Amino acid sequence: MEILSVSKSIESLDTPIAVLLYEDDQSNLSYLGDLQQEVKMLMQAENFKGKEDSVAKINLIKNQKVVTIYLGGLGKKEKVSLDNFRRTTALIIKRAKRDKVKDLLIYAGERLSEEVSKAIVEGAILGDYTFDKYKTKNNEEEKGKISKIELYGGDERGITVGKILAQAQRFVRDLVNEPGNVINPITLAEIAKKLAEEYHLECRIYDEKEIQEMGMMALWSVGKGSATPPRFIHLTYRPEGEPKDRIVFVGKGLTFDSGGLNIKTGDYMRTMKMDKAGACTVLGILKAVAELKLPVEVHGVIGAAENMPSGTAYRPDDIIRAMNGKTIEIDNTDAEGRVTLADALSYASNLEPSRIIDLATLTGACVVALGEYTAGLFTNDDEFGDEFLKISKDTGERLWKLPMDDKKLREKIKKGDGDVLNSGGRYGGAITAAMFLEEFVKEGIKWIHLDIAGPAYFKEEFGYYSKGATGFGLRTCVEYIIRKYS
């Protein structure tokens, strides 16, 4: 999809027009010139008032030509956030695609800021996404694609950055949506290699023998039940000149999770291809950071494994030594993500960054606590966490900070025969999982854990999300680097 900034009068247009309107503020209709009175009448007939997430289509005749106008509601002007622009644009794009529109002009005001331009572009590209790779298509379906969007008064940098972030998020969606017979630990490592070659990243892949030699017995234990052995992936982006900081992103990379010997039921095993969402998001972050040429040294670390039941699978009661020397007693083999992350966080800590951010589809408990649309944020540094939360309000990626200071909960993961148990029980499960992870982060490193189990994968589409993988967390992570260091 081509997206460019334009400044065209309505008289020169031969494409459909999308106008973004505030509730009870119709000033943007002035762009329509002598059509605006007729549009206002039709809006009244349709009872369209510009309410949040509302879309209407109006067809008019002008100079013996049909003029198609899409109206998108932003909600009340004093309450509009950047995400309103993002969502409304996505909803218009979805409607225009159904109408087999090829080109579209979007009008949201005379001169748009960088941030508004970026949000509109993100909404357009994300709203255009579908995962239909494995569907047999006919010619009519192939025609239903938007090829060009013209953004009236769009800011050039906002358009450029918006494209990069949204395309990186679509890249993540594609990877997460791929089934386990396509992406396994070995093929995920190959994808990381190709990404490194394309964007001039450093890449180191460790095989199952090297994983054991490095003392990553936690990752190895989870992966050894599968016929496909685990892989450990380390990508590095180095900026030109002296880096302003060093940050490590760690992703949970369970390419499929059956639950292991504590096997999941069929309903809960379905969609477990999405258990690699954190790892795929880390790959997308590295892609975006490299394209934006950000002035920070960024590492992406992934422990990739399949959690499968077999005669070689790890067991409840096993005691395993992680890379940092701590021992883990296995209470439940279906709490495997945190076990693989123990080694990944230990490795990340050895890189001596100032900050580590991990992303993981870690616990159903977080979904119970916060619902499907909000990720849990846990941190050992409140200032770092609050900075992240503030940015998420602009990106529209809902986060909620959960506490890490309950000493009684922490005791629950300390009661086994090893240094730490991999499950603290049902109650407060998202918190005890985060406390487990903190055991493998070196003291002095600022750390955020994002439990994205809810918003990583949706079963129905809404806003700029399609059914399936979302790429949640990517834009907030990259925006954090942009705003803090650029």
C-beta separation of 455 from 468 below 8 A: no
Condensed to tens digits (0 to 9), the pLDDT of residues 75-125 reads 999 999 999 999 999 999 999 999 999 999 999 999 999 999 999 999 999
Tell me: do 370 and 438 sit in the same domain: yes
Residue 286 domain-assigned?
Answer: yes
Condensed to tens digits (0 to 9), the pLDDT of residues 390-405 reads 999 999 999 999 999 9
What pLDDT sits at residue 105? 97
Residue 237 domain-assigned?
Answer: yes
Tell me: do 329 and 405 sit in the same domain: yes
Tell me: do 94 and 229 sit in the same domain: no
Residue 209 domain-assigned?
Answer: yes
Residue 11 domain-assigned?
Answer: yes
Full residue range of the structural domain in which residue 111 is found: 2-154
Tell me: do 226 and 275 sit in the same domain: yes
Tell me: do 312 and 228 sit in the same domain: yes
Tell me: do 288 and 355 sit in the same domain: yes
List Cα–Cα distances, 21 to 3, 90, 177, 339, in angstroms: 21, 14, 34, 49
Output the domain CATH number for residue 191.
Answer: 3.40.630.10
Flag whether pLDDT at 139 surpasses 80.
no
Tell me: do 334 and 479 sit in the same domain: yes
Residue 172 domain-assigned?
Answer: no
Query: Two tokens at 5?
Result: 């900034």
Distance CA 107, CA 92 (A): 12
Distance CA 148, CA 101 (A): 10
Residue 162 domain-assigned?
Answer: no
Distance CA 336, CA 253 (A): 11
Flag whether pLDDT at 472 surpasses 70.
yes
Tell me: do 208 and 321 sit in the same domain: yes
What pLDDT sits at residue 66? 85
Catalytic residues: 264, 338
Flag whether pLDDT at 23 surpasses 70.
yes
Output the domain CATH number for residue 35.
Answer: 3.40.220.10
What percentage of the chain carries pLDDT values higher than 70?
A: 99
Residue 160 domain-assigned?
Answer: no
What pLDDT sits at residue 63? 76
Tell me: do 229 and 143 sit in the same domain: no
Q: What angle do CA 110, 79, 76 make, to 5 degrees?
A: 70
Condensed to tens digits (0 to 9), the pLDDT of residues 298-320 reads 999 999 999 999 999 999 999 99
Q: Give mean pLDDT, residues 149-159.
A: 98
**Could you tell me the pLDDT band of residue 439, with boundaries at 50, 70 and 90?**
very high
Tell me: do 288 and 407 sit in the same domain: yes
Tell me: do 199 and 148 sit in the same domain: no
What integer best gives the mean pLDDT of the chain?
A: 96
Range in 11-15, 39-43, 215-219 the model is least confident about? 11-15
Flag whether pLDDT at 143 surpasses 90.
no
Residue 223 domain-assigned?
Answer: yes
Domain count, the chain: 2
Distance CA 64, CA 67 (A): 9
